[in-house]
Amino acid sequence: MAGLKTSARRENGEYLVNGSKTFITNGVRADFYVTAVKTTPDGGHHGISFLVIEKGTPGFEVSRKLEKLGWHASDTGELSFSDVRVPAENLLGEENKGFYLIMANFQWERLAMALGAVGGMQATFERTLEYVKEREAFGRPIGRFQVVRHKIAAMATKIEACRDLTYHALRLFIAGQDALREVSSAKLMACRVAVEVADDAVQLHGGYGYMREYDVERALRDARLGPIGGGTDEVMKEIIGRQLGL
């Protein structure tokens, strides 16, 4: 975040914004954009501010809608800013203090992603459990075969472990405690396991799992964003490692 390029220069009671942004959630349909900009070019993370920019402001446009692997219900866009004039009153918080707002938001965003991953994999698991009880092969439900039964048991155990870790991080966060390490661990584990659970669900559905008719294929596509969005697995590991004094 400290290396963002979009700039905002203050002049005559306005900010003059130039630059571009990509991978912006709801960027195609939004009416207002909370935009991180560099108000001090060489200030590093100390030079970031937030401006609210309205759709239709001259010089501001949505460059294009991005086509994605999953999350088709949520649009993602590229934005461009060319000499966009924004009133100074559209500044959120203090000038050059935006980095702290970003860090505060990241904690809740990562918790929300971990919680979403837990809920998503639980729903996928329940659909898969019902399927293996009904789908028959060689004269009996496939859930009666040991290889399937063991995979289902492993899925259930991993989901419960993610739920416990995520709820623990949530309790600390709601209580106002420093939960950076716990939130990062929950996001890392839950979002990665959600991909594994969705992949197992597709496998257990066999050929049907690869078809749009059964929504486990969508679960796998949607889950794959988790280890990337809101901070990649690698970023989470870096945070956890530093919290451990490394």
Q: Which residues are catalytic?
A: 109
Alpha helical stretches, state H, 28-179: 98-134, 146-174
Angle at 49 between CA 46 and CA 55, to 5 degrees: 160
Single out the residue of 95, 104, 110 nearest to residue 47, CA to CA. 95
Answer for the pair 74, 113: CB distance below 8 angstroms, yes or no: no
Instruction: Provide the angle, in degrees to the nearest 10, between the axes of the packed helices 180-205 and 146-174.
Output: 160
Q: Is residue 174 classed as helix, strand or coil in its secondary structure?
A: helix
d(CA 236, CA 162): 15
Closest CA to 7 of 67, 46, 34, 47: 47
